[in-house]
Amino acid sequence: MSSRLIGDPRLQRLLIDMGGDLPRAHELFQWNVHASGAAMEAIHVFELILRNAIDRELRVWNQGMAGTPDWLHRPHPYLQRALYQPEISKASARARRIAAEHSRPLNHDDILAQMSLGAWRYILPSRANKSKQKLWDVAIKNAFPAWPGDWPADSVVNRVANVHGLRNRVAHLEPLHRYDLRRVRRDMRSVCHAIGPDAARFFVQTERLIPVIESNPATPR
């Protein structure tokens, strides 16, 4: 493993964490690569479950309020105020380009597929945004029917924010061996369970974080 390839600051950090042992530093580097892959696999499944749950409820709400389930393509004005428009615009532009490449008209699912995890994080309620809070009360909270009734909306928001933070950490090539992956995995499982026990089972059956976490060479044995 060469500092020319991975960068001297990263190599030095790995060496420090492995007591100056170069072969163990190399093992730790490989573990971080594998952990990043496993984390993104788990986030991939989590995001699909979260996205589809919220989308189902917003389709129902927009149908009742605007006469169409296409809340991304033709949102009710109230919903439009609660959404982060730059994100919708970027997703729509990407979707329009892909639809054009396939010579077909743009539809709701095209835009949905281009939405980022950050979009789902920021559509959740916020004390600073009354529109988001209202949207939670009338529609989005229904995406989490198994959420304990005495848990505040912040419990969902904070967990999704933690997953989004992990996603950004992986995307920016940050090491994970000192990161609490176990906690974020619990957050993902909890949100999936709030959507439904079947969602939690599907998440657990399709991710592989636990064995990766347990094989972390930087964890004291």
The domains of the chain are located at 22-214
Taking Cα atoms as reference points, which of 127, 155, 128, 124 lies closest to residue 57? 124
- Burial label, 128 (beta-carbon count in 10 A; 0-12, 13-18, 19+): exposed
Exposed / middle / buried, residue 114 (Cβ in 10 Å: 0-12, 13-18, 19+): buried
- Write the pLDDT tens digit of every residue in 12-31: 999 999 999 999 999 999 99
Q: In whole angstroms, how far apart are CA 180 and each of 44, 165, 169, 186, 219?
A: 18, 12, 12, 10, 11
pLDDT bucket at 221, cuts 50 / 70 / 90: low
Instruction: Write the pLDDT tens digit of every residue in 55-70.
Output: 999 999 999 999 999 9
As beta bridge partners, residue 126 has 129
Residue in the structure block whose two tokens are 């189902």: 56
pTM assigned to the model: 0.92
Tens of pLDDT along 94-147? 999 999 998 999 999 999 999 999 999 999 998 888 888 899 999 999 999 998
Q: What is the mean pLDDT of residues 157-185?
A: 96
Helices 197-206/181-195 angle, 10° precision: 140
Q: How far is CA 59 from CA 3, 7, 16, 86, 108, in A?
A: 51, 47, 52, 21, 10
Q: What are phi and psi of 75, to 5 degrees?
A: -75, 150
In contact, 13 and 175? CB cutoff 8 Å: yes
Beta carbons of 153 and 125 less than 8 angstroms apart: yes
User: Tokens 């006469």 identify what position?
Assistant: 67
Tell me how far apart the alpha carbons of residues 129 and 84 are, in angstroms, rounded to a whole number.
11
Q: What percent of the chain has pLDDT over 90?
A: 76
CB 193 within 8 A of CB 155: no
What length does the chain have?
Answer: 221
Residues above pLDDT 70, as percent of the chain: 99
